[in-house]
Amino acid sequence: MAEAHPVGFRWVMKAKERGARIINVDPRYSRTSAIADHHVHIRAGTDIAFLGGLIRHVLETESYFREYVLNYTNASTIINESFRDAEDLGGLFSGFDPETGIYDRSSWMYEGGEMASAAGVREHASQAFEEQTGAGMHGAQIHRDETLEHQRCVFQILRRHFSRYTPEMVQRICGISAADFDAVARALTENSGRERTTAFCYALGWTQHTAGVQMIRTASILQLLLGNIGRPGGGIMALRGHASIQGSTDIPTLYDLLPGYLHMPRAREQELDLESYIDTGGAERGWWSNFDKYIVSFLKAWFGDAATAENGYGFQAIPKISGNHSHFATTMRMLDGGVEGFFVMGQNPAVGSQHAGLQRRALSKLKWLVVRDLAEIETATFWRDSPEVQSGELKPEDIQTEVFLMPAAAHVEKAGCFTNTQRLVQFRDKALEPPGDARSELWFMHHLAKRVMAHYAGSERKRDWPIANLRWDYPELGAAREPDVEAVMKEINGCEVATGRLVAGFAELKSDGSTACGCWIYAGIFAGGVNQARRRDPGDLNSPGGHVSPEWAWAWPANRRVLYNRASADPQGRPWSERKKYVWWDDAGGRWTGYDVPDFPVDKAPGYRAPDDAKGMDAINGDDPFMMMADGRAWLYSPSGLLDGPLPTHYEPIESPVHNLLYPDLGPDPAGIRWRRPENPLHATADPRYPVVATTFRLTEHHTAGGMSRTLPWLGELQPEMFAEIDPVLAREHGIEDSGWMTIVTDRAEIEARALVTDRMRPLRVDGRPVHQIGLPWHWGYSGGYPGDSTNDLGAISGDPNVSIQESKAFTCNVRAGRRRGPSTERLKGVASATRGLAPNEDDASAETPKEEAP
What confidence tens digit (pLDDT) does each residue in 371-403 have? 999 999 999 999 999 999 999 999 999 999 999
Name the more confident of 640 and 159: 159
Query: If you write DSSP's letter for every residue of 236-288 in order, what string do you get?
Result: EEE--SSTTHHHHHHTT--TTEETTTEEPPBSSGGGSSHHHHHHHH--SBSGG
Give the pLDDT score at 853.
33
β-bridge pairing 368-373 and 402-407: parallel
Distance from the first to the final alpha carbon of the chain = 36
Question: Who's near 840: CB < 8 A, 6+ residues apart?
Answer: 101, 125, 126, 127, 672, 673, 674, 675, 676, 799
Return the exposure string of 706-717: e unless at least 16 CB atoms fall within 10 Å of the residue's CB, then b: bbbbbbbeebbe
Give the pLDDT score at 245.
87
Give the pLDDT score at 839.
39
User: Which of 66-70, 753-757, 821-825 is predicted least confidently?
Assistant: 821-825
**Would you say 442 and 483 are in contact if contact means Cβ atoms under 8 Å apart?**
yes
CA-CA distance, 800 to 333, in Å (whole number)? 19
CA-CA distance, 383 to 363, in Å (whole number)? 9
Residue 305 DSSP symbol: G
CA-CA distance, 713 to 368, in Å (whole number)? 32
The whole-number average pLDDT for the span 326-349 is: 96
Mind listing the pLDDT tens digit for each residue in 439-469? Answer: 999 999 999 999 999 999 999 999 999 999 9
Is the pLDDT at 480 greater than 50, yes or no?
yes
CA-CA distance, 381 to 141, in Å (whole number)? 61
**What is the percent of the chain with per-residue pLDDT over 90, rounded to a whole number?**
88
Give the pLDDT score at 37.
97
Is the pLDDT at 194 greater than 80, yes or no?
yes
User: Residue 157 CB: number of other CB atoms within 10 A?
Assistant: 23
Residue 268 confidence class, pLDDT cut points 50, 70, 90: confident
Dihedral over Cα of 667, 671, 676, 681: its sign: negative
CA-CA distance, 170 to 57, in Å (whole number)? 11
How long, in residues, is the chain? Answer: 855
List, in sequence order, every residue forming a beta bridge with 344; answer none if it has no partner. 371
Question: Who's near 790: CB < 8 A, 6+ residues apart?
Answer: 351, 356, 705, 751, 778, 780, 781, 782, 824
| Cβ burial, residue 455 (10 Å; 0-12/13-18/19+) | exposed
Is the pLDDT at 646 greater than 90, yes or no?
yes
The whole-number average pLDDT for the span 701-706 is: 92
CA-CA distance, 213 to 206, in Å (whole number)? 8
Give the pLDDT score at 124.
28
Residue 241 confidence class, pLDDT cut points 50, 70, 90: confident
Residue 242 confidence class, pLDDT cut points 50, 70, 90: confident
This prediction's pTM:
0.94
CA-CA distance, 834 to 361, in Å (whole number)? 12
Is the pLDDT at 282 greater than 70, yes or no?
yes
Give the pLDDT score at 477.
96
Give the pLDDT score at 604.
98
Give the pLDDT score at 114.
56
CA-CA distance, 78 to 92, in Å (whole number)? 20
User: Which of 619-628, 719-728, 844-853 is predicted least confidently?
Assistant: 844-853
Residue 240 confidence class, pLDDT cut points 50, 70, 90: confident
Residue 439 DSSP symbol: B
Residue 270 confidence class, pLDDT cut points 50, 70, 90: confident
Q: Starting from the edge strand earliest in sequence, which strands make up the sheet with 341-345, in order?
A: 341-345, 368-373, 402-407
Dihedral over Cα of 27, 32, 34, 36: its sign: negative
Is the pLDDT at 127 greater than 50, yes or no?
no
Residue 142 DSSP symbol: P
Give the pLDDT score at 840.
39
Query: CA–CA distance from 243 to each of 1, 258, 489 (Å)?
Result: 14, 21, 18
Query: If you write DSSP's letter for every residue of 588-606 in order, what string do you get?
Result: TTTEEEESS--SS-TT--T
β-bridge pairing 673-674 and 798-799: antiparallel
**Would you say 175 and 43 are in contact if contact means Cβ atoms under 8 Å apart?**
yes
Is the pLDDT at 133 greater than 90, yes or no?
no
CA-CA distance, 570 to 194, in Å (whole number)? 10
Give the pLDDT score at 174.
98
Residue 140 confidence class, pLDDT cut points 50, 70, 90: low
Give the pLDDT score at 136.
43
Residue 804 DSSP symbol: -
Is the pLDDT at 201 greater than 80, yes or no?
yes
Mind listing the pLDDT tens digit for each residue in 405-418? Answer: 999 999 999 999 99
The whole-number average pLDDT for the span 64-85 is: 97
What's the count of helices (H) and strands (E) in the chain, helices before strands?
A: 22, 30
Residue 832 confidence class, pLDDT cut points 50, 70, 90: low
Question: Who's near 478: CB < 8 A, 6+ residues apart?
Answer: none
CA-CA distance, 448 to 811, in Å (whole number)? 41
Q: Which long-range contacts (CB under 8 A, 24 or more apart) does 424-427 make?
A: 424/552, 424/553, 424/554, 424/555, 425/247, 425/522, 425/525, 425/532, 425/533, 425/553, 425/554, 425/555, 425/556, 426/533, 426/553, 427/531, 427/533, 427/534, 427/553
Residue 636 DSSP symbol: S
Q: Which of 829, 709, 680, 765 is nearest to 331 (CA)?
A: 680
**Would you say 462 and 455 are in contact if contact means Cβ atoms under 8 Å apart?**
no
Question: Who's near 618: CB < 8 A, 6+ residues apart?
Answer: 610, 611
**Would you say 210 and 653 are in contact if contact means Cβ atoms under 8 Å apart?**
yes
Name the more confident of 421 and 852: 421
CA-CA distance, 215 to 805, in Å (whole number)? 13
Give the pLDDT score at 42.
98
Is the pLDDT at 847 greater than 50, yes or no?
no
Query: If you write DSSP's letter for every residue of 149-210 in order, what string do you get?
Result: --TTBHHHHHHHHTTT--HHHHHHHH---HHHHHHHHHHHHHT-SSS----EEE-HHHHSST
Is the pLDDT at 831 greater than 90, yes or no?
no
